[in-house]
Amino acid sequence: MRLLLVEDDALLGDGLRVGLRQAGYAVDWAQDGLAAKLSLQTEEYDLVVLDLGLPKVTGLELLRWLRGQGKSAGILILTARDTIPDRITGLDAGADDYLIKPFDLDELIARLRALSRRNSGIVTPLLQHGAITLDPAAHQVKNGSDLVDLSAREFALLHLLLLHMGRVQTRDQLESHLYGWGEEVESNSIEVHIHHLRKKLGNSLIRTLRGIGYVIDKP
C-alpha cells in the first residue's frame, strides 16, 4: 500500500513515517500543502493521511482539489483542534475519516486498515485463497492452521496480490507499493521476495507473466 503522509510538524511526521513503514506501508512524506499537491499529481496513492493545518496550501484546500480531480485514495484527516466545524467541513469536503491530535499510532493504523478495506469493497478483514489466509489486522498468514513466517515486505507483497486477485500487478506497481521515497530498491528485489514467498507457500500460488509481472489467480 502506498501512502502519502502530509504533516508539517517535523517530529510528529518523522515518528509517523517510521511507525507506518514498520506497519508495512510504503510511505512518502510531504511537509507542506504544495509538496503534497505535486506528489499527488505524479504518484498514485492508496491512502492519504492529511494534517489540516499546513503551510502554503491548507489541508482543506488540498482535500477539495484532490476530490475535484476524482482521485479515489482513502483520506484520513488529522486535526489539532477538537472543533466540530473543522471536522464536519473536512468530512463534507471528501475525507473518509478523521483523528484528533494527539492520537495513538495503533489507532491510526487500525483506521487505515478499515479505510483500505472499505475502498477495495472487501467486507471481511481476512483474505483467503485455498488454504492460505491473510489477516491484515494481526499481520498474520496461515497455511491451513500453520502460521507462516513472512518478512514485512513479503507480507506486503502477498497482501497486495491477494487484494487484487485475478489482476496482474506489474513489477513497477509492486515496487511502488513496497517502497517509499529514499528507500533503496535492489533491481531484483521483487523477484527475491516472490522466490521466498514461493518457498514458504508453494510454487503454484503466484504466477509469473514473464516481462510483465505477477498474479494470484482466483481459485
In this complex, which beta carbon is closest to Ca ion, that of residue 80 or of residue 105? Answer: 80
CB of 51 to Ca ion, least distance (A): 4
Task: Name the minimum Å distance from CB 140 to Ca ion.
Answer: 35
What's the min distance (Å) between Cβ of 16 and Ca ion?
12
- Which of 46, 51, 86, 96: binder of Ca ion (CB under 5 A)? 51
Number of residues assigned to the chain = 219
Residue 86 touching Ca ion (CB under 5 A):
no
Least Å distance, CB 211 to Ca ion, is 45
DSSP 213: E
Question: Phi/psi zone of residue 149: left (φ > 0), alpha (ψ -120 to 50 degrees), beta?
Answer: beta
Query: Are the CB atoms for 54 and 6 separated by under 8 Å?
Result: yes
Note whether 8 binds Ca ion by CB under 5 A: yes
Q: Which helix (H) or strand (E) holds 26?
A: strand 26-30
Q: Which residue has cell 475535484?
A: 68
Nearest-approach distance from CB 135 to Ca ion, in angstroms: 34
Binding-site size for Ca ion (CB under 5 A) equals 3
- Asked if 61 is part of the footprint of Ca ion (rule: CB under 5 A), the reply reads no
Cα–Cα distance between 185 and 188 in angstroms, integer? 8
53 in contact with Ca ion (CB under 5 A): yes
51 vs 96, beta carbon nearer Ca ion: 51
Sheet holding 169-170, edge to edge: 169-170, 213-215, 207-209
**Contacting residues toward Ca ion, per CB under 5 A:** 8, 51, 53
